[in-house]
């Protein structure tokens, strides 16, 4: 089953893309230099020097620790104490969905970042396809038994987007039923995958991330890796149409191999009330040690946004259009996955 079915698609014009990205980048640098010089010097810093692979952002080259100022740890300590002071007195803000921006920035992201940078060494492409302002719906494939791909996607958008946008993920109801998990998910800005919440977030101009495959994608056997499952019932398309925001297709390569799921203990899953119970070569066998994911090398590619503002408001109720757009998004993600697989040297490097 290896990667034999990979279909190399017509070499897409890389040179053109590269050129386009360079101008974007120049724009961004210019903006950062002139538009808001005092407040946000960060985007300018984050632009990495023209590296060996133009058009890609290498996580290892950047991050807060890259440029420690003199006495940086002292300032950090003071910041930490200020943070602690706000936390113990409860003087921080959360939004209607329970998103705690400060906790996410200072704690949750710092915990996820080493996994993202050092363990999975995520490479991000096409981040500029997410608009700097206004709502957007990022639609991604879903895989890897545990939804680590969602978390990595959130870090990718947060750390690499010039406007430092925070991705608001839509999670399954199981996430919000589990104690502790639901609390953390809400604080990290996630909410239940339902049309009402998604619409409200998009109307507020947030970037919303959705994985329409759901558990079908997450818990599919290893033999079916990189084969997209059914995209739900296409509800995400009608939500995007109603909110008139672009759909950004996103392909994640590398998450499929973190837990090679060779079996599914259905009876046990039913007993525990879970959608599936994974059996990997290591998992129930080695106990908790088996739950350590394999250190695969990841690539996250954001595709060209699909605009939805050209459709009339009634279009959201047209099932035919819905199916067509759903298929279009699905095909785009699938083709990008195949292309990235062809380019990939190895699963681990």
Partner 1 sequence: MRHSPARVAGEVGREALILGKIVLVTGVARGLPGRFVRRMLREPDVDRVIGVDAVEPEHELGGAEFVRADIRQPAIGKLLAETGADTVVHMDVNGTPLGSGGGRGTVKETNVIGTMQLLGACQKAPALRRLVIKSSTSVYGGAPRDPAVFSETTPPKSLPSGGFAKDAVEVEGYVRGFARRRPDVAVCVLRFANILGPCADSPLAEYFALPVLPTVIGYDPRLQFVHEDDAVEVLRIAAGEPRRATDNSGTFNIAGDGVLLLSQAARRLGRPTLPLLLPALTWTRSALRFTGITDFSPEQVRLLTHGRVVATRQMRDTLGFHPTYSTAEAFADYVRDRGPGLLPPEALARSVDRLAAMLPTGRGQS
> What is the contact surface with partner 1 in residues (CB under 8 A)?
71, 74-75, 77-78, 81-82, 84-85, 87-98, 100, 173, 176-183, 186-187, 191-192, 194, 196-197, 200
The distance of closest approach from Cβ of residue 92 to partner 1 in the complex, given in angstroms and rounded to an integer, is: 7
The distance of closest approach from Cβ of residue 103 to partner 1 in the complex, given in angstroms and rounded to an integer, is: 10
Nearer to partner 1, 14 or 75 (CB): 75
Nearer to partner 1, 181 or 294 (CB): 181
Rounded to the nearest 10 degrees, the angle between the axes of helix 319-343 and helix 235-243 is 110
Nearer to partner 1, 43 or 171 (CB): 171
| H or E element that contains 191 | strand 191-192
The distance of closest approach from Cβ of residue 85 to partner 1 in the complex, given in angstroms and rounded to an integer, is: 4
Nearer to partner 1, 91 or 309 (CB): 91
Contacts of 247 (CB under 8 A, 6+ apart): 136, 137, 139, 236, 237, 240, 305, 306, 308, 325, 329
Decide if 55 contacts 125 (C-beta within 8 A): yes
The distance of closest approach from Cβ of residue 89 to partner 1 in the complex, given in angstroms and rounded to an integer, is: 4
Residue 56 sits at φ, ψ, to 5 deg, of -120, 150
Task: Please state, in angstroms and rounded to a whole number, the distance separating the CA atoms of residues 152 and 155.
Answer: 5
The distance of closest approach from Cβ of residue 201 to partner 1 in the complex, given in angstroms and rounded to an integer, is: 9
Helices (H), 10-118: 14-34, 42-46, 72-89, 101-103, 109-114
The distance of closest approach from Cβ of residue 289 to partner 1 in the complex, given in angstroms and rounded to an integer, is: 25
Nearer to partner 1, 232 or 284 (CB): 232
Question: Where do we find the tokens 């950004």?
Answer: 248
Nearer to partner 1, 196 or 331 (CB): 196
Question: Quick one: which of 208, 229, 186 has its CA closest to 326?
Answer: 229
């Amino acid at each position: 089953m290896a990667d034999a079915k990979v279909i190399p698609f017509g070499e897409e014009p890389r040179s053109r893309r590269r050129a386009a990205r360079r101008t974007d980048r120049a724009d961004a640098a210019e903006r950062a230099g002139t538009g808001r010089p005092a407040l946000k010097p960060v985007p300018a810093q984050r632009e990495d020097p023209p590296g060996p692979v133009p058009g890609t952002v290498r996580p290892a080259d950047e991050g807060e620790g890259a440029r420690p100022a003199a006495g940086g740890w002292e300032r950090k300590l003071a910041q930490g104490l200020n943070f602690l002071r706000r936390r113990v007195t409860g003087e921080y803000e959360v939004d209607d969905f329970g998103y705690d921006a400060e906790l996410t920035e200072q704690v949750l992201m710092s915990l996820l970042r080493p996994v993202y940078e050092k363990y999975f060494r995520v490479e991000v492409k096409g981040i500029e396809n997410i608009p700097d302002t206004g709502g957007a719906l990022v639609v991604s494939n879903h895989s890897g038994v545990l939804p680590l791909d969602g978390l990595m996607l959130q870090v990718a958008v947060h750390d690499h987007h010039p406007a430092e946008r925070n991705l608001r993920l839509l999670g399954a109801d199981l996430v919000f039923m589990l104690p502790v998990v639901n609390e953390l998910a809400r604080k990290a800005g996630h909410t239940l995958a339902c049309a009402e919440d998604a619409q409200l977030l998009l109307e507020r101009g947030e970037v919303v991330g959705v994985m329409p495959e759901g558990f079908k994608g997450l818990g599919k056997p290893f033999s079916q890796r990189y084969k997209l499952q059914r995209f739900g019932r296409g509800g995400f398309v009608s939500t995007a149409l109603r909110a008139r925001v672009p759909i950004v297709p996103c392909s994640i390569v590398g998450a499929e191999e973190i837990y090679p799921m060779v079996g599914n203990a259905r009876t046990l899953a039913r007993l525990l009330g879970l959608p599936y119970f994974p059996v990997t070569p290591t998992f129930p066998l080695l106990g908790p040690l088996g739950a350590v994911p394999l250190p695969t090398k990841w690539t996250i590619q954001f595709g060209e946004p699909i605009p939805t503002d050209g459709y009339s408001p009634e279009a959201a109720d047209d099932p035919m259009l819905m199916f067509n757009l759903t298929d279009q998004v699905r095909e785009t993600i699938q083709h990008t996955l195949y292309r990235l697989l062809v380019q990939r040297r190895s699963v681990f490097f």
